[in-house]
Structure 1
């Protein structure tokens, strides 16, 4: 990415320690990361390396033990609507319809009723769920629920979307469809995304950058720039799994995570 782009998120030498029985236990250690406008950053690493901890710090849900995190030079100290979050399990309100779930964030921010309706109509169309606007979450499939979760995050018009393994509970076919959908949404809206995943193929197929974390205590071992997502968008016949560069990148990441 060009160095002239603005860093939306800056993680500066962040560590998190939890209280153990005899001493402090590190979850992540001395992590630094920058996410620029329009980037799609994928964070991979072994289980328990602190990926979700890092996302929660960026979201403002927890505070680092050491170091600081900034959003456009403003230190992050609490949750903020400018950072939308999508979790592994959809956190939809079961008593609200799909439309009302999407309108919830803007409504809390005192956006007018008319503007809330415009936003929900727009994002219902974007995620292909206009016909399900008056349904409740229990009436939807897993993939549809995650599309509602993404629409709800987008309706707040955040500057970055943070996603914590949002597709891991979906079946293989639905997962690929959701990846394609997310890629199209990212490109169409020039969105900025941080996605946590344990799936290397998913990270390479979606990201513009892949950040690789080591085992606990988590550190960012390497960041690689990739462009397979754009190639997929540009050429419907492109098979990224057969690209020699893709095979090399996947092998390198797998080796680093395994070590």
Structure 2
């Protein structure tokens, strides 16, 4: 799945995982030291490699430093449903490590830099560092909220609305870890991949992107997406970013 490789260590405070934790609750020096130890090992996962395979045992976690992956389910018909896109700062292994066998597969979209973390080490971190454990509860809540929005996409939103919502979701998530500007981001998925998220065919996604461009809502240059009219796109996709925002606990004392 991955190969060990020595790399220049990124300061723990600049790591996307730490950035996301700090959005929920302010971490102290002891928390940072614990995270520095947790993130001390590095591996590289190559493009298109399966990191987790549905139905197989999986008992460790990988924290993403850079790169993208998809969490997906492959049906007997050969059709694929992507349930979430994994971005820098995310954790690979939830919920796979808590089940006897993995319930979804995870595949790298390109080369990825990962930190392997034994489940026992991760559990010890949560037990010993309550601020980190509290912030990680938000990780799980946010993940559930993303899945819920994708269910609403498939069940009730029209194709153009689904696409608008997904584009804004990706922009917001990437902004949170410093991987996007105010309106522009790099889309890690092909049009077919986007279709596997929102339940449309690749050609249908192409047509919907054309419609968004014609309406002056987005601009697309290869894999570079720019939101031209933020307010109109938010109205179209009924996008309210609160489900991706931090929990309101910053500054509270956790002992």
More helix by share: 2
Higher relative contact order (CA closer than 8 Å, sequence separation 6+): 1
TM-score by length of 2: 0.29
TM-score (norm 1): 0.28
